[in-house]
Amino acid sequence: MSELSYFPGSTNREDYAKKIAAVFSEYLEKNGLRLTSPRRKILDCLLKADRHLNQEEIYQSLRPQGIGRATVFRTIKMLEDSNLLSRIAGISGPPRFEVHSERPHHDHLVCISCGSIQEIQWPELERIQEKACGKIGFEIKWHRHEIFGFCKKCAGSSKQA
Amino acid sequence: MSELSYFPGSTNREDYAKKIAAVFSEYLEKNGLRLTSPRRKILDCLLKADRHLNQEEIYQSLRPQGIGRATVFRTIKMLEDSNLLSRIAGISGPPRFEVHSERPHHDHLVCISCGSIQEIQWPELERIQEKACGKIGFEIKWHRHEIFGFCKKCAGSSKQA
DNA sequence: ATCGTTGCAAACGGTTTGCAATTCG
DNA sequence: CGAATTGCAAACCGTTTGCAACGAT
């Protein structure tokens, strides 16, 4: 399970976290909602993680602080609505989540043998996408691109799922 | 809801259906399983449809013939295992399915306003993908590429979800 | 006769919702 | 005070499974 997570050169993790929190807060305000302590903690948990968490993992790590499952789900939904969080499907099991926004867009390479998720950036591919969609009048909001196969390690060995 | 579905020039729908059925049958045989009437009907239902069906739609259309939900799920799983069926996630709700195999690969443009799904082919994009993955030693088995945004019709009008 | 297959109903697991208590502004 | 928020438990919904009856070789 090697899952990468990185932050653009000029922005360190804390600045990044602040920025995201600000965007979230703004979103909430605009909708007459509040940036409460549980919501903040859930966002922090996602930001601190160096891999893609699923709902259960967030819940387990925050339960000691008295945060319930429902709140985790509700907050995840808000973060998705505010376009700060994206859902990654994987091959099976519950979806995992990833804070995006400021990070350069990347796609996912999911290994169907060991389950690892690598990230990959494709500026070239993004360009082609936009050009083609522009031509047929489709206005892109976001996309999800998951490639399934065998990672380097697993491709070398026996390839069992 | 305009969902395209087409068959390559030289192959008409019936030939195509036969080919798929043959592949399925072969897969079943190889695994000591049988191409039974319910399985055949479920495959036919998917082949006949001119849009992406979900499990419930298949079940509803076959229920009059006495086919149960469990069989639909079980058969879908087999078709996925035999690499004849792929799962499309959409923005919400249950996954939809699409028979692929012989058809040229294509990605999906999902409209977040009206829910329509357009298909788009990107040979260029596929090439880039393979080249890049080859470079880092990732062996592609299949991929899922869904682009979300506003279709031509909805981009023009008021853009409500 | 044997072994896969079927439909049913119950079980399951992730997600959502109703609600009374609580917190925040 | 009033409105949003919370945790809990129950409800929900799509999916899976156990099982006894069935079907095909």
Q: What is the pLDDT of residues A18-39, one digit of tens each?
A: 888 898 999 999 999 999 999 9
- Does residue B135 have a pLDDT over 50? yes
Task: Delimit the CATH 1.10.10.10 region(s) of chain A.
Answer: 1-103
Give CA–CA dist B86/B98, Å, rounded.
5
Give CA–CA dist A12/A141, Å, rounded.
26
Query: Residue A115 is encoded by which pair of tokens?
Result: 């389950």
Cβ atoms within 10 A of the Cβ of B103, count? 17
pLDDT of residue A160: 40
Query: Residue B33 is encoded by which pair of tokens?
Result: 């399983």
CATH 2.60.40.10 fits A105-161, yes or no: no
The H or E element containing residue A1 is none
Q: What is the pLDDT of residues B114-129, one digit of tens each?
A: 778 888 888 888 888 8
User: What is the gyration radius of the CA atoms in chain A, in angstroms?
Assistant: 17
CB A115 within 8 A of CB A77: no
Give CA–CA dist A138/A133, Å, rounded.
5
Task: Delimit the CATH 3.30.1490.190 region(s) of chain A.
Answer: 105-161
Buried b (16+ CB within 10 A) or exposed e, A130-150: eebbeeeebbbeebbbbbbbb
Q: What is the mean pLDDT of residues B128-133?
A: 87
Distance from CA of B64 to the nearest CA of A (A): 31
Interface test with A, best of B143, B151, B160 (most A CBs within 10 A): B143
Say which nucleotide is closest to residue B35, CA to C1' distance. C5
Please state which architecture CATH assigns to domain A1-103. Answer: Orthogonal Bundle (1.10)
* DSSP symbol at B157: T
Residues of B in contact with A109 (CB under 8 A): 133, 138
What is the interface size between A and B, counted as CB pairs within 8 Å? 105
Q: What is the pLDDT of residues B88-109, one digit of tens each?
A: 876 677 888 988 755 567 788 8
Query: Residue A52 is encoded by which pair of tokens?
Result: 């893609």
Q: Which nucleotides of C are covered by protein (CB under 7 A)?
A: 3-9, 13-18, 23-25
Residue stretches of chain A with pLDDT short of 50: 1-10, 158-161
Torsions phi, psi of A153, nearest 5?
-60, -50
Residues of B in contact with A148 (CB under 8 A): 140-144
Cβ atoms within 10 A of the Cβ of B133, count? 20
CB A72 within 8 A of CB A85: no
